[in-house]
Amino acid sequence: MKRFDVAASVLVALSLIALPGCEDAPWHLDPLATHGRDGGGMPVGYPTLMRLGAAAHAGGDLATAVGIYRRAAAIEPRHAAPFVAAGNTLLEMRQVNEAIVAYNSALARTENDGEALRGLARAYLLTGKPELAGQPLAVAFKQTPDDPKLLQLIGVADDFAGQHEEAQARYRRGLELLPRDPALSLNLALSLALTANYAEAVAILGPIAVAVTSSPRERQTMALIFGLQGNHREAERMARLDLDPQAVQRNLAYYESLRRLSPEARARDPVADNALRRRGACVLT
């Protein structure tokens, strides 16, 4: 995401405000001021604060966005939306514990808020606690069982718990609903690789990883799958697309050591587990 400086964020925010009438109203954009004004200007209301928060978020000014959403929540404490928005932003900042507090605050106001439930599950997955993610995911699933991104989250939770067949079933169902989705495809391919089904993993992720629109994450996941398969040549070719020669050799050596483990031992490997956590974090977007 392109990051703007603070001045640019303020300009974006200003463009969202429609001044009443033709007079020069003294607007002061300090949403964190105690009374919603900074000393004599017109107070900034809840809808405007939510727009300002979204503008700051879109401009990459995440800390400012969180502050604005919190001010909006102070003005309308019964609304779940500002807490959800703050949670989403905090999660993007990797302030996971604060995000969990924000999502729980949203759910205290709207018990079955789907976005808050999914956000809370994402946060728990980032902390490596799939057992905690299960409850909000189950509630969300009752409401929207055919949401492909929700199925993706449930699949990640299943993979975390070592339930790879169940995870793969979730990803496949998600792909029925959202064919060729890159994130679902990547998750399915990696889950298949964790169960040594390399041929299908390569067939699913390969076309995405070699496309001109592919991301480093997709390419390096493909390198990992090739490495686990024992295809040293293709693993090195994919790794070189993004990494320097020293990093390539380190990765290849790791792939080889991982390949020698049984699937069960591989699932217990702390580095592999950390890679799975990073995958889960990204899937949450």
Nearest to 133, CA basis, from 106, 114, 156, 101 = 156
Domain map of the chain by residue range?
A: 155-285
**pLDDT value, residue 13:** 30
**pLDDT value, residue 261:** 79
Rounded to 10 deg, the angle between the 96-109 and 114-126 helix axes is 160
**pLDDT value, residue 129:** 85
pLDDT in tens, 122-139: 999 998 888 899 999 999
Q: Which residue has the higher pLDDT, 262 or 203?
A: 203
Tell me the C-alpha distance between 284 and 126, whole Å: 9
**pLDDT value, residue 130:** 85
Give the mean pLDDT of the chain. 83
pLDDT at 221 over 70: yes
**pLDDT value, residue 270:** 53
Average pLDDT over residues 22-29: 36
| 8 Å CB contact between 159 and 151 | no
pLDDT at 18 over 50: no
Q: Which residue has the higher pLDDT, 195 or 271?
A: 195
Average pLDDT over residues 175-193: 95
**pLDDT value, residue 272:** 56
**pLDDT value, residue 262:** 73
pLDDT at 281 over 80: no
Residue 27 backbone phi and psi in degrees, to 5: -75, 135
| 8 Å CB contact between 77 and 113 | no
Average pLDDT over residues 17-21: 32
pTM above 0.85, yes or no: no
**pLDDT value, residue 79:** 96
Tell me the C-alpha distance between 117 and 80, whole Å: 12
pLDDT at 162 over 90: no
Q: How many residues comprise the chain?
A: 285
H helices of 93-244, in order, are 96-109, 114-126, 130-143, 148-160, 164-177, 182-194, 198-209, 216-229, 232-239
pLDDT in tens, 55-88: 999 999 999 999 999 999 999 999 999 999 999 9
| 8 Å CB contact between 157 and 127 | no
pLDDT at 265 over 60: yes
pLDDT at 245 over 50: yes
pLDDT at 43 over 50: yes
| 8 Å CB contact between 104 and 88 | no
pLDDT in tens, 93-111: 999 999 999 999 999 999 9
pLDDT at 25 over 50: no
Q: How buried is 271 (Cβ within 10 angstroms: 0-12 exposed, 13-18 middle, 19+ buried)?
A: exposed
Percent of the chain at pLDDT > 90 equals 70
Q: Which residue has the higher pLDDT, 55 or 194?
A: 55
Place of tokens 């390949």: 259
Q: What superfamily in CATH does domain 155-285 come from?
A: Tetratricopeptide repeat domain (1.25.40.10)
